[in-house]
Structure 1
Amino acid sequence: MLGNFSYCNPTKLYFGENSLSNLSDELKKYGDNVVFVYGTGSIKKNGIYDDIIKILKESNKNITEIEGVMPNPTVEKLYEGIEIARNHNADFILAVGGGSVCDFSKALSVSVNCNEEPWEKYFVRFEEPDCEIIPIGCVLTMVGTGSEMNAGSVITNQNTKEKIGHAFADEKIMPKFTILNPRFTMTLPKYQMVSGIYDIFNHICEQYFSGTDDNTSDYISEALMKSVIHSSLVAVKNPNDYEARSNIMWTATWALNTLIAKGKTTDWEVHMLGQAVGGYTNATHGMTLSAVSLAYYRYIMPYGLDKFKRFAINVWSVSPQGKTDEQIAKEGLLAMEIWMNEIGVITNISDLGVTKDDIENIADLTLTMDGGYKTLSRDEKIKVLSDSL
């Protein structure tokens, strides 16, 4: 561990089938005016909405709702939410849903009392809030983003086709608590489940494929990746396997609560490429990552060959006997591709609606990161995207 760092994660987690029973006690810590934020209606079909409303009413909260938060939350939806929260004099935001709802709620928490234009301030200039932040809590119904235990938020501007994430530095933006009940995730369609699974896996990869020192964080990452691989194969065969779904949910949280990023640089270029594709197509986030990952990792592999060799051996159990380092590394990426096909994620951007004519525009929308093994030029972004078609 060669880096210097501090670590603090103030989010309290309640995990398990009875975890929702803790919501009442948590609500007592906050003001009376609660903004209840959720997605496009699935929680009304599976009964979670009724359970939450009952608890809120029993807690004597004044409730207003922001419903219809979409999978890629938009600036327009954020503006709508700001007006609702201001009119309600919001004391607390309760986010019930997947990562998009959590992301939206964090953006809302720093925007309600902000005197500036939130998109420009937070997602263009990447400034930190200088206003009162409204506390939030989460009840998670879909896993993948890790948004339940970090200070990140991703918002899409449909006018400019930009999808931009801001990892806020202020710990106050992190959820005060998150309720994690694996049962809540079991009504998701397979497409959403495997999309979330790949999102988890890639979060780990983004932090793993960087640095050359002997770092404890990388050993943790390898264990988390092996857990995702194993549990994903079980869950694809039997989506109602509680043990597999609970392991996936727990791994998702630890994949992006900043723990495995400590003491090292991190990459995140796959996310920049995927978010650019997502901003252009409105495709599901995890699928945009899976669609560009293989081409990107095959391109940067020569620049981080030792780590890709280690990845092949330690994560995919590739035998190194009688093989060159390059052969071992390539075999690891092939094993990854086989797994991706087995769980059913998308592996090319053409399946998301991208055409050859779109490539240069998407490349121009892709932010450049410099923490990995290769900083991509514009031409290199075009090549990776072209190889992803």
Structure 2
Amino acid sequence: MKNFNYSIPTEIFFGEGQIKVLPEQIKKYGTKVLLVYGGGSIKKNGVYSKVVELLNSNDIKFWELSGVDPNPRITSVRKGIQLCRENNIDFILPVGGGSSIDCSKVIAAGYYYEGEPWDIVLDPSKIRNALPIGAILTLAATGSEMNAGAVITNMDTNEKLGTGNPSMKPKFSILDPTYTFTVPKNQTAAGTVDIMSHVFENYFSSTKGAYVQNRLSESILKTCIQYGKLAMEEPENYEARANLMWASSLALNGLLGYGKESRWSVHPMEHELSAYYDITHGVGLGILTPYWMEYVMNETTIDSFVEYGVNVWGINPDKDKLQIAKEAIEKTKEFFISLDIPMHLEEVGIGEEKLETMAKAATRHGSLGLFRPLDSQDVLNIFKAAL
């Protein structure tokens, strides 16, 4: 296990009715709020009206930035920064999933940056400070409610990139599983895959001796397997929604990666798919993951897949190692299929024409991953296998 520093300062208010703490939490930081949300689902499910009621009854002024896209755009970030500066905003409140939260984080950081906001996406070292933000989560998926990272898309340049800074971590997040009851089946499925993919990126690592982290990772994967399909079939099943929501936060709050050396593989590959084709992030991850697993599984990495197969899928450890590894990958694919995740790029409108361009873009800063490093040809091979 590697040395690490541990800090997860976001305060979590988990459970039904926890939105009652919203006014007192906001007032720790300010009274002029930018409310950030997406396509309007929070108005249909009643979350918006509850937030507005609490803000108005506690003399908290607010302005709105709506229409944040599922792959949040730099154009929304620019609008948000302008609103903050024009109205002396001192707190940002995203209500929604990872897209609204990510957009808010970069708005918060861009408020203090005098140049073009895309600069701080390209180069996070330029981030010096950020407005405080809180989050009300309505979709279990990205884990953005409890970390310092954000992913933003620039449609003009076909780039979808991650950025981050400790100042961008939410001061608090309200996690009420009932707010996810109205999430459609397809989004529940994509969110479940996204959570699992975050775990995979840390779980499949060349670092030895991180026993605690690996067992935690396996428990979160088993949670997704236990409750992902159930949440789709019974959308108002509180137990299922609650477990998925907490799994989302734990999968990417740093806990699983501390003490492990990691560089992600599948996420940067999928970011290129989203940047060029604007597909749902979790769907892209679901398509690529089994093909990535098949590609990187070799004599050096096979033990990790055996461990995964035995501990997560309950495969008989007495079987041949290669058989266990292959069966584990197949079970992963079967589970994604059971969630109605497509298994081929062509099913989401992606053909061969841009695969090479995307493979080169994914590796423009060097190889992907440390578990088995991938160059542009490797990425292209995986893309082609996934067609």
TM-score (norm 1): 0.96
The aligned counterpart of 2:139 is 142
Match of 2:187 in 1: 192
Identity %: 36
1:291, 1:346 within 8 Å by CA — same for their partners in 2?
yes
Say yes or no: does 1:234 pair with 2:230. Answer: yes
Aligned residues of 2:367 and 2:375 also touching (Cα < 8 A): no
Where in structure 2 are the equivalents of 1:25-174 lying within 5 Å? Answer: 25-120=24-119, 122-130=120-128, 132-168=129-165, 170=166, 172-174=167-169
Distance 1:189 1:341, change over 3 A: same
Please tell me whether residue 311 in structure 1 is matched to residue 308 in structure 2. Answer: yes
CA distance in 1, matches of 2:29, 2:91: 6
Are the aligned partners of 1:268 and 1:369 in contact in 2 as well (CA < 8 Å)?
no
1:37/1:101 contact within 8 Å kept:
yes
The 1:369–1:181 alpha-carbon spacing in structure 2 relative to 1, beyond 3 Å, is: farther
Quote how far apart the aligned CAs of 1:233 are.
2.7
Distance 2:117 2:356 in 1: 28
Amino acid at match of 1:316: W
Counterpart AA for 1:43 = I
What TM-score does the superposition give when structure 2 sets the normalisation length? Answer: 0.96
Contact 1:217/1:261 (<8 A) preserved: yes
1:77 counterpart SS class: helix
Note the C-alpha offset of 1:320.
Answer: 2.8
Report the CA distance between 1:44 and its aligned residue: 1.1
Distance 2:68 2:324 in 1: 44
Cα RMSD, aligned residues only? 1.3
Equivalenced residue count is 383
Question: Of residues 179, 183, 186 in structure 1, which corresponds to 2:178?
Answer: 183
Choose which of 213, 232, 235 in structure 1 pairs with 2:208: 213
In the aligned structure 2, how far is the partner of 1:370 from the partner of 1:219?
25
Secondary structure at the aligned position of 1:13 is classed as: strand
- Pairwise CA distance, 1:177: 0.3
- Letter of the 2:309 counterpart: A
SS at match of 2:95: strand
Is the 8 Å Cα contact of residues 304 and 373 (structure 1) preserved in structure 2?
yes
Is the aligned partner of 1:355 residue 2:354? Answer: no
Q: Which runs of 5+ in 2 are unaligned?
A: none
Q: What is the CA deviation profile of residues 55-79 of structure 1, one whole-angstrom value per residue up to 9, with x for unaligned ones?
A: 1111211211111111011111111
Cα distance in 2, alignment partners of residues 351 and 177 from structure 1 = 39
For structure 1, the 5+ residue unaligned runs are none
Find the aligned partners of 2:111 and 2:342 in 1 and give their Cα distance: 37
CA distance in 1, matches of 2:345, 2:105: 29
107-116 or 142-151, larger mean C-alpha shift: 107-116
Q: 1:148-201: per-residue Cα shift (whole Å, max 9, x none)? A: 000011000101111101132x2x210000000111011111111110010001
